[in-house]
Every structure is written in structure tokens, then in C-alpha cells.
Amino acid sequence: MFTPKIPPPDTAPTPGTSLVQPLTGLVHPPACTCHHTPAPAPTPAAPSARPAVQFTPGSLLVAAAGGTAVVLVVGTVLVSLLLATAITAASVAVCALVLRSLLSHQKGR
């Protein structure tokens, strides 16, 4: 079931041959029959003179503070989710122990 399905050697293509036959003898006619010189290629337009983004020390400080705040908020949310999961798991474990104790105590009577 998990073995590869390899074709028998008589039908497998040899490494030097291809299953796709090359196209030969195709000649495309020219797009038009008029004899004119092609138009010169358009020159690329000069890039627009946009001002480069310049950071001042104040803007770098604001960006660093904003990034730090985002990291702290995301970290707090993730730690809270992990803590909530741990508390839920512990409470489920305690409930399971109490139920086991109650059920085993019932069998003893």
C-alpha cells in the first residue's frame, strides 16, 4: 500500500528522451506587411522628486516608545491567557480528584 508505483521498465522513459515532442516547422508571419522602421523605445521617465523620509531624534524616541508599549501590551495579554489556562487546568484537576474521592467513598459503603 505504501510502496511507490513505478512503471515497468519497458514503458518508463529513458533519461535522454522526453515524453513531450518538440514543435518544429512553425513559422509565424509578420504582424504587418508594411515596411517601416520601428518607433524608438520610450525613455523611462525620471523619478519624481519625492522628499526622503527623515527621522529626527524626537520621532525616533516616539517610535521606540510606541514599539516598547506594543510589545509590553501584547506580552501582558499572552501571559494573562497562559495564566487563565493554568488556573482552569488546576481547577479541573481538583474537581476530578474530589469526584474520584466521592465515588470511591460511595463504593466502600
pLDDT band at 24 (very low <50, low <70, confident <90, very high): confident
The model scores a pTM over 0.95: no
Q: Supply the mean pLDDT for the chain.
A: 81
Beta-carbon contacts of 14 under 8 Å, excluding residues fewer than 6 positions away, are: none
* % of the chain with per-residue pLDDT over 70: 68
CA angle, 77 then 83 then 87, to 5°: 145
- Measured CA distances, 11 to 4, 6, 19, 26, 103 (Å): 16, 10, 11, 30, 69
Predicted pLDDT of residue 40: 73
Here the cell at position 63 is 517610535
For residue range 27-74, what is the model confidence (pLDDT) as tens digits?
Answer: 767 677 777 676 677 777 666 677 777 888 899 999 999 999 999 999
Q: Which residues, 6 or more positions from 55, have their beta carbon under 8 angstroms from its beta carbon?
A: 63
